[in-house]
Amino acid sequence: MQHEENNEIVKSELLVITGLSGAGKSVVIQSLEDLGYFCVDNLPPILLPKFVELMEQGNPSLQKVAIGIDLRGREFFKYLVREIDAVQSRKNVIVDVLFVDAETEKLISRYKETRRKHPLQEQGDLTLVAAINEERNLLAEVRSLANYTLDTTKLTPKALRKRVYENFNKENKSTFTINVTSFGFKHGIQIDADLVFDVRFLPNPFYVEELRPLTGMDEEVYKYVMKWKETNTFYEKLLDLLLFMIPGYKKEGKSQLVIAIGCTGGQHRSVALAQRLAEELKQTYDYNIYVHHRDAHIESGE
C-alpha cells in the first residue's frame, strides 16, 4: 500500500522474522503485534510475494506487517533467500529482515527446560547440538541479508520485548537505530554486533578495591576510566572513526547498527565508554540511540 500523509509518500512496511529455533522469535512476533503490526507466523516462503501483492492493494490493516518464517516449513525454506530478493525489489513496500540469534549453550538450556525437540530432530537421529549447528548452516545466507539482528542469549523475555519496542516503535521517530552495548569477553563476545572494540588495554578499575563492586555507571568508576590519557586518545579516535562510518551504513540501507565495546568482565571500562559514546552520538545524530550493558549486572567482576 502507498498513500500520502502530510504530503509525503508513506510506503507499507514488511518485516520478515527468521532465525534460530528457540532464540525467541515467538516473543518478537507477540511484541510486534502489541505495537500494531499485522503478524503472520510460519508462512511458507513461496507465499511471500503473494502476501506483498495483498499489501499493495491498499488494505489499511496491512500497513505494517511482520511475517515469521522458520524451519517448521523446511520443505519450502530453501526458497527463502530467493523470495526475499524478489520482494525487496518491489517499489511500494519496504522490506526488512530481522534475524533472531542466540549462543548454542543457551539454546540447549532452553530446549532442556521446555523438553521440546528441535525441528531438525523430528526426522533423523541428530543430537540437539548437531541439529542447532545444522540450522546455523542452513540460515547462514539469510542471516547475511538481515537489516536487524537480535542476540537473545542474555535477554529475558521482558528485556527482549523492551528491545523490540526500542527498535520498531517508530512513530514520529527516525527509522535508523544505533545500539551501543558493553560486554565482557569472559562471558562471550556479543554475537549480534556489527562493530566490536576491545578496551582491555586500558587501566582496569577492578584492581582498585573500593571500585571493584561498582560499575561504569557509577561516577567514581567513570571518572577513573576517563582520567587516563590513553582512554581519551582512544575515545577520540573511536569517535572520529564512527562519525565517518555511520552515515555510510545508513546510506547503504542498514536499519540498525550495533556497536559493542568489550572489556574483561563487562563491568567497568566497557560500561563507562559505552555510556560516554551513546551520549555523544545522541548529541550528534537525530537517530534512535540506545545503550545496553549486557554483563554489568553480573557480580563476579573483572
Judge whether 20 is annotated as a binding position. Answer: yes
Judge whether 194 is annotated as a binding position. Answer: no
Judge whether 22 is annotated as a binding position. Answer: yes
Judge whether 174 is annotated as a binding position. Answer: no
> Do 278 and 289 touch, CB atoms closer than 8 A?
yes
Judge whether 260 is annotated as a binding position. Answer: no
> Do 120 and 134 touch, CB atoms closer than 8 A?
yes
Sign of CA dihedral 227, 228, 231, 235: positive
d(CA 266, CA 294): 7
Judge whether 301 is annotated as a binding position. Answer: no
> Do 23 and 152 touch, CB atoms closer than 8 A?
yes
Judge whether 182 is annotated as a binding position. Answer: no
User: Beta-strand (E) ranges in the chain?
Assistant: 2-5, 8-19, 38-41, 64-68, 93-101, 148-151, 177-184, 195-198, 256-263, 288-293
Judge whether 146 is annotated as a binding position. Answer: no
Judge whether 26 is annotated as a binding position. Answer: yes
Give CA torsion, residues 30, 35, 40, 41, to 10 deg.
-20
d(CA 137, CA 143): 10
> In terms of DSSP bridges, do strands 177-184 and 256-263 run parallel, antiparallel, or are they unpaired?
parallel
Express the helix, strand and coil content of the chain in percent, nearest 5 each.
45, 20, 35
Closest by CA position to 53, among listed 18, 111, 1: 1
Judge whether 19 is annotated as a binding position. Answer: yes
Judge whether 253 is annotated as a binding position. Answer: no
DSSP state of 117: P
Judge whether 23 is annotated as a binding position. Answer: yes
Question: Which residues are annotated as part of the binding site for GTP?
Answer: 70-73
Question: Which residues are annotated as part of the binding site?
Answer: 19-26, 70-73
Question: Which residues are annotated as part of the binding site for ATP?
Answer: 19-26
